[in-house]
Amino acid sequence: MAEKVTPRDVDYSRWYTDIVLQGKLADYSPVKGAMVIRPNGYAIWEMIQKYLDKMFKDSGHVNAYFPLLIPESFMKKEAEHVEGFSPECAIVTIGGGQELEERLYIRPTSETIIWSMYKKWIMSYRDLPILINQWANVVRWEMRTRLFLRTSEFLWQEGHTAHATSEEAEEETLKMLNIYKTFVEEYLAIPAITGKKSESEKFAGALHTYAVETMMQDRKALQAGTSHNLGQNFAKAFDVQFQDKDGKLNYVWATSWGVSTRLIGALIMAHSDDRGLVLPPRMAQRPVVIVPIWRGDDQKVQVLEFADSVYQELKAKYNVIFDDREQYKPGYKFADWELQGIPIRVEIGPKDVANNKLVLVRRDTMEKQFIDRKGVLETVTDELNKMQSELLEKARIFRDENTFDIDDYDEFKKILAGKGGFLKSHWCGGAECETKVKDDTKATIRCIPFDRKKEDGKCIVCGKKSSGRVVFAKAY
């Protein structure tokens, strides 16, 4: 606790790590590349689960659970899929002391095992759609890892749906993407761009991939969620056919979609400051902390009594921390809770008791307000709501200020070599130009945004005709 958070402008990457470690969100584990999610971090994941799960259920989905281990032969059934995932898979070769006849992959994603089951479950159009979601862990053997953003094991949810028609699958793919967008904006308070991925960025085995893209404070992009239209690829690989009303056999249409604990990384990088984590109130399991302050035993009794009455009132609605630890002075406690991102701090000292007031400090603005004791619950609720919407607004302004329409490749390169940002530029649709941009600048096409305007222009690289702009950025 003695160490301070490295400021963002000194070293952004150190800053991020400091926030995670000092905010007690996660810690390095004995297993290389894997992290321990500590209670503060897991609480955020629980909030993500709580809200998303409700959104999934409200849109007709149900939860299920499939095995962690996948037979090697399953992984190899879909050509693009195996090519995309094999290099980063961990494989079990021994079980019960015996070499296994067939090796088992630790799931990097569950399409294959789920579709092997769907084959058993789907006979008729009456069995469709299947709208299943799974909350699970997956393993991808990454070379370079970063807390929450990329670890060899991570938690996520993966939806896997089966449909009778292509149109219905496409509709589902877009519906889930929009649920992610809504969640990211309304709960995580991060403005989101939705759009389609280019061929090179799409999911291994998908027809096409849609994504939610967000901007972090270092102006880099972070993909917050993806939704894939898998077409009939997996149905064909696993021979899943159904009989339609006319008695004809058809392959089933599929989607899959997911978000991971990476969202916690996004949340941290979007809002936090040099004092530590800043949590949007809706994502805070414990949104309020009360810090009583006194001098001498007489004051202690009065202050604690007054503070307790405030605590009782707020406790009716919020999970409130009452920090009456005696071994720490107020300054320490302020710093401690700021590091952990508690959205609202209430300070109660002798002066407040005398005036029947209290001090309220919002984590995002850090402004101290003297508020009346009466109506404290309403005031706190009001401030939490304001903080939620102001965080989103602030992030939106930041993103817009760092999004540019660029038509000149030299300028394009210059910006990416400097501050960076989202660059909206014309693109011919060719993979060569996309690769050249990546080689020249490390930036990639984040998405072809849904809301792009029809506009004639020339590809930023080759100058060929283009009918609209795509979003380029360096990404996590």
Partner RNA sequence: CGGGGCGUAGCGCAGUCCGGUUAGCGCACCUGCCUUGGGAGCAGGGGGUCGGAGGUUCAAAUCCUCUCGCCCCGACCA
Binding-site ranges for RNA (CB under 7 A):
1-2, 4-5, 13, 28, 32-33, 87-88, 140, 142-144, 149-152, 154, 203, 223, 226, 260-262, 275, 293-296, 300, 326, 328-332, 334-336, 338-339, 347-353, 359, 361, 366, 368, 442, 476
What distance in Å separates the CA atoms of residue 409 and residue 411, rounded to the nearest whole number? 5
**Closest CB 246 distance from RNA, rounded Å:** 39
> Which residues in 20-147 belong to E strands, given as ranges?
26-28, 35-37, 62-63, 69-71, 91-95, 98-106, 130-139
CB of 334 to RNA, least distance (A): 4
Nearest-angstrom CA–CA distance, 278 and 287: 11
CA dist 345 and 298 (Å) reads: 24
96 vs 296, which CB is nearer to RNA? 296
Output the smallest distance, CB 102 to RNA, in A.
25
CB of residue 330 to RNA, shortest distance in Å? 4
Instruction: Measure Cα distances from 117 to 65, 135, 447 in Å.
Output: 12, 17, 33
Q: Which is nearer to RNA, 142 or 171 (CB)?
A: 142
Nearer to RNA, 30 or 96 (CB): 30
What is d(CA 247, CA 412) in angstroms, rounded to the nearest whole number? 56
Comparison of 1 and 62: residue with beta carbon closer to RNA:
1
Tokens of 227: 């939704």
Q: Max Cα separation, the chain?
A: 86
CB count within 10 Å of CB 193 equals 23
Minimum gap (Å) between residue 213 Cβ and RNA: 9
For RNA, the closer of residues 179 and 252 by Cβ is 179
Shortest reach from residue 183's CB to RNA, in Å: 15
First to last CA, the chain: 28
* Cβ-Cβ contacts under 8 Å for 409 (sequence gap 6 or more): 460, 461
Q: To the nearest whole angstrom, how small is the minimum distance from the Cβ of residue 466 to RNA? A: 24
Integer Cα distance of 71 and 64 in angstroms: 19
Please, which residue, 93 or 356, has the CB nearer to RNA?
Answer: 356
Nearer to RNA, 86 or 243 (CB): 86
